[in-house]
Amino acid sequence: NNIVSAIIVGLCRLILHKHISSVETVVKLLLKYFNPATSDEIMQILGVFFKNLADRRMQELLQKALFPTLTAIIDAPSESPLQDVDASKLIQFVINLTKPEYCQPGLNIHNTIALAFFGILKDDEESNQEVAKIFASELVTLEISDDPSLKNDFKTCVDELVQGIK
């Protein structure tokens, strides 16, 4: 446990000091944080790390790690403790840490999350049905900006999804 703690603390520091910007590392840290088998000490370390990530306005890493983490949880083998993870809690966690007021001025990560969600649905409708169900319920909590070009992007995505259904 001490070795794992030291590795996690080291990775967290490297990410916070921008020496590492690997989305795969953030995915692994999110999976560790949401894993029910993770010790309380490591959960506390990761909780502080994710809060610091938001405080330093580095939430883009969380946005990029959201869908790979969600997929890893959904596709986890039946014997894995990740099967017990409530995927909607992961989405809520990332949405709460990426609210526009916590991000860099002019950056709305919720717009990117919503567009990425539509892109995933459009690209692979069959394998992402579980993701669609989980994410659709959380979509209403996103704080999407009122930008006309963004509305056109959403309209285009929805039109393409409707055409795919027909």
Q: Does residue 135 register a pLDDT over 90?
A: no
User: Whole-prediction pTM value?
Assistant: 0.83
Give the span between the Cα atoms of 84 and 101, in whole angstroms. 32
pLDDT > 80? residue 166: no
Residue 124 has pLDDT above 90, yes or no: no
When pLDDT is averaged across residues 109-136 and rounded to a whole number, the result is 72
Task: Identify the helix (H) or strand (E) that includes residue 155.
Answer: helix 148-165
The answer to whether residues 62 and 76 touch, using CB atoms and an 8 Å cutoff, is no
Residue 126 in tokens: 């069959």
Handedness of CA 61, 67, 73, 75 (dihedral sign): negative
Q: Residue 139 pLDDT > 90, yes or no?
A: no
pLDDT digit string, tens, across residues 51-93: 999 888 888 899 899 989 988 998 899 999 999 998 889 988 9
Sorting pLDDT into bands at 50, 70 and 90, what band is 126?
Answer: low
**47 φ, ψ (degrees, to nearest 5):** -60, -45
